[in-house]
Amino acid sequence: MKKVFERPRLLKPATFHFCPGCGHNILHRVIAEVMEESDFRDRAIMIAPVGCAVLSYFYLDIDVTEAPHGRCTAVATGIKRAIPNSLVLTYQGDGDLASIGAGETLHAAGRGEKVTTVYVNNTNYGMTGGQMAPTTMINQPTTTCSAGRNPEKDGYPLDLSKILSTLPGVCYVERVALTSPANVMKFKKALRKAFQYQTEGLGYSLIEVLSACPTNWKLSPVDSLKWIEEVMAKAYPPGVLVDRKAE
């Protein structure tokens, strides 16, 4: 019998701790798959964030270090400058990347650090119980804006990917909504491209993933996917924001 589907070798035999309907397990799986395709794994050093994805090292059989909250791209800079041939991947949530780590992210991108970021946007602080994030949508309720985000007092959602895509040091930014198998494949293709660009030394690359957080959104997994497509994707439209090689 022909084998058409199997568990990626790089996915350790551990059970994901993520909630039902969460996007992290899919993303971890795809990272494992892409890492297996080339010599990526041999060169890969991943930086795990503070947040739900901190435990990446329990799932992926690659070299992984933790970074303090928000500092992933600074740590990535240190690694890449120490081993220029390495494949450096930061994996960050929206609180980590767009709030506490906005400075580090902006400057690593500004310097054109040859590293790749997977930016998982679920519009809230998932691990700490669903507080407002810079990405929280207008009118979206969270535990620190229970009546919904009010731009008068809470400010507006921050689209950091869009800002980063304007920088000359950034070679590739794509946004994907993790809502269907077709879109999962889009993420896989984007990650492969980002790794390729990094290997070619083209600059900083980032893939933003609009990812469900059913637990904190208080929606079913199915309704969460609908919410991504009908509400979230309006503020954060999927697509290629910049691709310097294709230009």
Using CA of residue 135, residue 129, residue 67, residue 12, what is the dihedral sign?
negative
Q: State yes or no: residue 28 binds other proteins (CB under 8 A).
A: no
Q: State yes or no: residue 13 binds other proteins (CB under 8 A).
A: no
Question: Is 65 or 220 the residue whose CB approaches other proteins more closely?
Answer: 65
Q: Are 88 and 80 in contact (CB under 8 A)?
A: yes
Contacts of 178 (CB under 8 A, 6+ apart): 23, 26, 27, 184, 187, 209, 210, 211, 212, 228
Site string for other proteins, 81-120 (x = CB under 8 A): xxx--xx---------------xx--x---x---------
Q: State yes or no: residue 164 binds other proteins (CB under 8 A).
A: no
In the complex, minimum distance from the CB of residue 177 to other proteins, in angstroms, rounded to a whole number: 29
Candidate segments 57-65, 138-146, 190-198, 229-237, binder of other proteins by CB under 8 A = 57-65
Q: How many CA atoms lie within 13 A of 42 on its CB side?
A: 5
> CA-CA distance, 82 to 40, in Å (whole number)?
17
Which letter does DSSP use for residue 96 in this model?
A: I
DSSP string for residues in 189-221 = HHHHHHHHHHHHT--EEEEEEE---HHHHTS-H
Site string for other proteins, 196-235 (x = CB under 8 A): ----------------------------------------
Among 30, 31, 76, 190, binds other proteins (CB under 8 A): 76
Among 22, 47, 202, 210, binds other proteins (CB under 8 A): 47
Q: Are 98 and 134 in contact (CB under 8 A)?
A: yes
Residue numbers at the binding site for other proteins (CB under 8 A): 41-45, 47-48, 50, 54-55, 57, 60-68, 71, 74-83, 86-87, 103-104, 107, 111
